[in-house]
Amino acid sequence: MRATRRGLLPLLPAAALWRPLGAAAQPRGCACDYPERPITLVVPFLAGGSTDIAGRILAERMAPQLGAAARIIVENRAGAGGSVGAEWVRHRTPDGYTLLLGSASALATNPAALPAQTPYDPVEDFAQVALVGGGPMVLVVPASSRFRTAAELFAAVKAEPGRYMWATSGAGGIGHLTGEYLKIEAGGLRAEHVPYRGGSAVMEALAKGEVDYSLEVLASSAPHLRDGLSRGLAVSSRARHPLFPDVPTLDELGLKGFEITTWNILAGPRGLPPDVLGALSRAVQATLAEPGVRERLAAAGVDPAEATTTPDGTRAFLRSEVAKFRGIVERAGLKLGR
């Protein structure tokens, strides 16, 4: 029987017909061998703080989740409350080899209160990977203070406006905006703001009795509270913290709905390829699911996020936090670095 033209296959070289298994499923530009070289994780603060400790724990345990030969190197780029490191990462190539462990200061309070120092959009200029963890702020007074409760402190500040001094780890930071929010919610308190260079300096000033109170992150205040150098009057979370179950929340003390926490978010430059973003997200989820990692983060004063954290959920969280702090800046009438 004579074959018809329609029934014949074109005679092509065998090499043109053969294709590796799975090759057709690989999208154009797929970073299928990611990572092929070390990843740099930028911590925008000096070594030794809670964000730095969290970054090193994350780098150590996340690398194996990306591959047996994967390496993540922590690089500290401090300055301007985390904004220097964030700005540097923003300008890197979005290939997954430069990441940022951003903080509430770098990605929310600084953009809200210090726009001149933060020439970036904290949401749109970054690719959010995952929420790593967070923790409450603590309303603290010196151990020698006569104030035993938050109510006593508030009453004294109201009775003598401008007499009392409160310390923060820097103008425009998380402690500053939390304190401004507290003054509004507690009935219009008036006290003199004294900014210091970091949380350790704040806690030292409190221990010496140089200032009357502060709102400081749990990681900085916890050692002083344990050692009796300072006294915790309240926490800014909606629930009491397991490390200090006897310290009430501001919400239960009458400031209904009061909730501010500090946090760390893993992010990269805007435009991370979807497959790289997915690989990083899965690696963080697996890392946060490790009991040992969760214990180490908690010991550093960082309450680990749920292992189900996703890029979309993290982006939505960040957007809401930025809006919250911009609202506080507006209500407080702050004009910093404008």
| Residue-level pLDDT at 220 | 85
pLDDT-derived band at 209, boundaries 50, 70, 90: very high
CA–CA dist 208, 213 (Å, integer): 12
pLDDT confidence bin for 87, thresholds 50/70/90? very high
pLDDT at 55: 96
**pLDDT surpassing 50 at residue 30:** no
- Give the containing element (helix H, strand E) for 216: strand 213-217
Please tell me the distance from the alpha carbon of residue 125 to that of residue 111, in angstroms, as a whole number: 12
Tell me how far apart the alpha carbons of residues 297 and 50 are, in angstroms, rounded to a whole number: 9
- Residue 157 — φ and ψ, nearest 5°? -65, -40
Topology of 136-235 in CATH?
D-Maltodextrin-Binding Protein; domain 2 (3.40.190)
* DSSP sequence for 251-309: TTTT-TT---EEEEEEEEETT--HHHHHHHHHHHHHHHT-HHHHHHHHHTT-EEPPTT-
CATH topology for the 39-134+262-332 domain: D-Maltodextrin-Binding Protein; domain 2 (3.40.190)
**pLDDT at residue 15 above 80?**
no
The pLDDT of 129-153, averaged and rounded, is 97
Q: What pLDDT does 46 receive? A: 85
| Confidence label for 32 from pLDDT (cuts 50, 70 and 90) | low
Residue 168 β-bridge partners: 195
CA distance 104 to 89: 16
Q: Where are the domains of the chain?
A: 39-134+262-332, 136-235
Q: Is the pLDDT of residue 170 over 70?
A: yes
Residue range 222-262, pLDDT digits in tens: 999 999 999 999 999 999 999 999 999 999 999 999 999 99
138 with 179: CB under 8 angstroms?
no
Of 76-85, 270-279, 285-294, 325-334, give the lowest mean pLDDT range: 76-85
- Could you tell me the pLDDT band of residue 29, with boundaries at 50, 70 and 90? very low
Q: Are 287 and 65 in contact (CB under 8 A)?
A: yes
- Maximum distance among all Cα pairs of the chain, rounded to whole angstroms: 109
136-235 has the same fold as 39-134+262-332: yes
Q: The tokens 């120092």 sit on which residue? A: 117
DSSP 249: B
Q: What is the pLDDT of residue 13?
A: 40
What is the predicted pLDDT for the residue at 300?
84
